[in-house]
A = this chain, B = another copy of it.
C-alpha cells in the first residue's frame, strides 16, 4: 500500500488528523528511564503504543537520535511501529536535500535502512534533487513549503515573478503541478500562518499537508483545520510533539501523553 493510501486509511480508521511527533530529548525524560541505555527507544515505543489508535501518522525527528548515536534505536522504533501498529505510517523527519547522486544515498538511508513510509525533503536544490526520492513509488515525499519558525519568512516570503507571488506559493504550485506526477508528494506548511495554509490549499487541491506548529509553537487548532481541510474534511497531518511527549513527568507519562493526544485529536475533529 502506498503512503498516500496508508494515510487515507489512518485518517478514516482512527478518525484522526493528528500526527504524533517523536522528538526524544533525554533531558526531559521521566527519572525512571534516564539511566537506561535504551531510554530513547523505550520512551518512544511507550508513547507510540499509547497513542497509535489516535494518530494518522508518527513522525520521528532524526536529529534527536543522531545527536546521541541512537540510530539503532531509531531503526528499532520504526520496526516496532510497523509490527505493532501497521495502520499508522511513519514519516522520517530529516529535511534532506542534495544533488541526485547524494540524494540516492539519503533515500537508501530513509527508505531501505529505516524503512520509513515517507520523508521530509528541502526543495531549495530543485527537481533533480527530489527525483531519487520519487523513484521509491510507494513512499511519500513531503516538501518544505512554508515553515513554522520566525525565520521562515527570510526566504519563503520573498516575492517572485510578475504577480509578486511569495516563494512558498511558488513552491506549492511547482510541487502540485510539476513535481507530483506520481501522486507521492505532500507539503509542510506551518500552523503559525493559517491564512497561508488556506492559500496553499487553494493552490494544491487535495494534496496532503503536514502542519507543524500547534502546541508548543503556539498555532491555533480551529484556524489551522478550517484553513487547511479538504472538502471531505481530511488532507491534514497536524503535528504535535512536545505537548504530547512531555505531558507527564512521572512513570505514568505514556498515559498523560495519551490524554493530551486524545484531547488534541478531538479538538481537531471539532472543526473538520
Q: Which one of A12-20, A35-43, A119-127, A260-268 is at the interface?
A: A119-127
- Cα A170 to Cα B158 in complex, Å, equals 10
Please give me the residue from chain B that is nearest to A114 by CB atom.
Answer: B66
Confirm or deny: A118 has a beta carbon within 8 angstroms of a beta carbon on chain B. Answer: no
Q: Assembly of this chain: how many copies?
A: 2
Which of B66, B96, B130 touches A105 (beta carbons < 8 Å)? B66
Q: Tell me whether A63 is interfacial, beta carbon within 8 Å.
A: yes
* Size category of the binding interface on chain A: 35 or more
Interface contact A124-B67, CB-CB below 8 Å: no
Closest beta carbon of chain B to A106's beta carbon, Å: 5
Segment of A76-84, A143-151, A220-228 in the binding face: A143-151
Q: Determine whether the beta carbon of A105 is less than 8 Å from that of B67.
A: yes
**How far apart sit A102 and B171, CA to CA, in the bound complex (Å)?**
23
Q: Does A203 contact B (CB under 8 A)?
A: no
Tell me if A113 and B66 are in contact (CB < 8 A). Answer: yes
Mark A90-122 against chain B: 1 for CB-CB distance below 8 A, else 0.
Answer: 000001111111110110110011000000001
Which single residue of chain B is at the shortest CB-CB distance from A164?
Answer: B160
| Contact B156–A126 (Cβ < 8 Å) | yes
A156 is contacted by which of B71, B112, B124 (Cβ under 8 Å)?
A: B124
Q: Does A167 contact B (CB under 8 A)?
A: yes
Distance, CA A209 to CA B106, complexed state (A): 25
Distance of A62 from chain B, by nearest CB (Å): 9
A4 interface residue per 8 A CB criterion? no
Q: Which of B66, B102, B108, B153 interacts with A126 by CB under 8 Å? A: B153
Contact A109 B158 (CB under 8 A): no
A174 at the interface (CB under 8 A from B): yes
How many Å lie between the Cα of A68 and that of B108 in the bound state? 8
Which chain B positions have C-beta within 8 A of A66?
A: 71, 105-106, 109, 113
A159 near B160: Cβ-Cβ < 8 Å: yes
A150 to B126, CA, bound (A): 8
A49 at the interface (CB under 8 A from B): no
A129 within 8 A of B: yes
Interface pair A61/B102, CB less than 8 Å apart: yes
Q: Which residues of B contact A123 (CB under 8 A)?
A: 124, 154-155
A contacts, CB < 8 Å to B: 23, 61, 63-64, 66-69, 71, 95-103, 105-106, 108-109, 112-113, 122-130, 144, 147-156, 158-161, 167, 170-171, 174, 212
